[in-house]
Every structure is written in C-alpha cells, then in structure tokens.
C-alpha cells in the first residue's frame, strides 16, 4: 500500500487538504496527516483539522509521496519550517514524489525542487521567487518527473485523482472518480 504524508500548517486551505486526504483514503492509500505541532490546525476559512500526529513523530519516516495543501498563511508556514524542507529534499533525492497545490508550490521552489521543471500554482504564488529554468504552466495539474503541482481549490479533485493514478493505477482512479458522480 502506498503511503502519503500530508503536512497541515495553520492557515492551510481546507478544501485542498480534505479533498486530497479523503480521495486518497478512498483509493486505499495510507495517508498520515501531520500538524507542525501537537495542536489542532485552524485552516484558512476557520475549519479546525485534527492531524493524526505531530510532524516530529513522522519526520524520519519514509513516505512514497508528500502532498502539500496550499492556502495562506498555510503555505508560508510550511515554507518557514525547516523540517518540511528537509523531508521534501530527502523524498526527492530518494526518487519519490512531492506534490503541492495552490500557493504550496512555493515551498517546493524554496527547496529547489522546481528548478528546470514544468509546474503550476495559484496565480502569483511563485512571483518574485528565483526558480532557475522554471517552465510555468496554467494547466489544472502539471507533472514533471516526480513533482506534481496544481492550481488551487477548484482543481483539488483533479489533483487528488491524478495522485491516485500515480500511487495506485488508472483503474483505481476511475473507480474512485465514478463513485463521486462527477459529470
């Protein structure tokens, strides 16, 4: 079974976080949510999320993928956390997946993981950042090697379904998507 870490920072975009967590779990993926500390996470629209664990409890564990929800100030809080940067770099160096949506691709950029890659983000999220060779795209979901990025809350379901296809297979993605009754 594939394993995914979803770090939850104060101010994260709850629609993105919950959509990714829910759809991956529907697909049978082992999802661990981790708060930056032991407190409940107050998301950007006031929803309170209860992480499975604190990040310190899993920071040395290996995951098949790390998925970063966006939102502000959630993405800034992830970007400022050295443990998150270390996890992302270690995961990428091991050839495993890193994924981010909305403003969170800036966290990947800060870790050097978007250099010379195709990527997308919420409009303006990467403005002012020095990302050598970035090929910025406007598609809903962009995959370049083991890096997956997406635009924002409106693309969260497409993003999560794409992650299922990567982590499990297209048949599981289709099964999960069919049960959602998407048009």
Could you give the residue numbers annotated as active site? 102
d(CA 14, CA 36): 15
What angle (nearest 5°) sits at the alpha carbon of residue 92, between those of residues 163 and 103? Answer: 60
Which helix (H) or strand (E) segment holds residue 143: the answer is strand 141-144
How many other β-carbons are positioned within 10 Å of the β-carbon of residue 2?
18
Q: Which residues contact 8 (CB under 8 A, 6 or more apart)?
A: 17, 33, 34, 35, 36, 41, 43, 49, 51, 69, 74
Cis peptide before 165 (omega within 30 of 0): no
């Amino acid at each position: 079974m594939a394993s995914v870490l979803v770090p939850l920072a104060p101010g994260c975009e709850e629609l993105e976080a919950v959509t990714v967590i829910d759809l991956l779990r529907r697909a049978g993926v082992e999802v661990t949510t981790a708060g930056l500390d032991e407190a409940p996470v107050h998301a950007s629209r006031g929803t309170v999320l209860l992480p499975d664990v604190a990040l310190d409890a899993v920071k040395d564990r290996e995951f098949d993928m790390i998925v970063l929800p966006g939102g502000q100030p959630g993405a800034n809080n992830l970007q400022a956390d050295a443990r998150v940067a270390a996890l992302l770099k270690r995961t990428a160096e091991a050839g495993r997946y890193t994924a981010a949506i909305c403003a969170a691709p800036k966290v990947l950029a800060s870790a050097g993981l978007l250099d010379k890659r195709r990527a997308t983000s919420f409009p303006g999220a990467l403005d002012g950042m020095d990302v050598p060779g970035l090929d910025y795209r406007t598609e809903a979901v962009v995959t370049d090697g083991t890096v997956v990025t997406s635009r924002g809350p409106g693309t969260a379901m497409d993003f999560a379904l794409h992650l299922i296809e990567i982590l499990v297979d297209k048949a599981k993605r289709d099964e999960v998507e069919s049960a959602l009754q998407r048009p």
